[in-house]
Amino acid sequence: MTAILAAAPPGRAGSAGGVTNLARALGQTAGPALAAFGWSAAAGGVAGFRTGVAALTCCTLAAFLALLAARGNDRPGPRAG
């Protein structure tokens, strides 16, 4: 979290901290629920474990791709003048 707050523009540290805490809370809530859903959808056991891990891996990959896409939009545009 320190790196995120250090990278935030001046005056935006509160927003950066809030977004970071929101992402952490969503991950702590949705992660176990998604893993449990995958486990129960595959009738438990080893197959359920693998399904839960696959679901979490897909969710993590999607979040990483969203992060990369958002980072690309953060670059400053050409200067007028």
Q: Give the per-residue pLDDT at 73.
A: 63
Structural domain includes residue 78: no
Structural domain includes residue 40: yes
Structural domain includes residue 56: yes
* Dist. CA 77–CA 23, nearest whole Å: 28
Q: Give the per-residue pLDDT at 12.
A: 86
Q: Give the per-residue pLDDT at 47.
A: 92
* Dist. CA 17–CA 20, nearest whole Å: 5
* Dist. CA 74–CA 55, nearest whole Å: 29
pLDDT, tens digit (0-9, with 9 covering 90-100), for 35-52: 899 889 998 899 999 999
C-alpha torsion sign, points 45, 47, 49, 51: negative
Structural domain includes residue 51: yes
Q: Read off the pLDDT of each residue in 17-46 and give the average, rounded to a whole number.
A: 90
Structural domain includes residue 80: no
Q: Give the per-residue pLDDT at 67.
A: 79
Please tell me whether the overall predicted TM-score, pTM, comes out greater than 0.75 for this model.
Answer: no
Structural domain includes residue 79: no
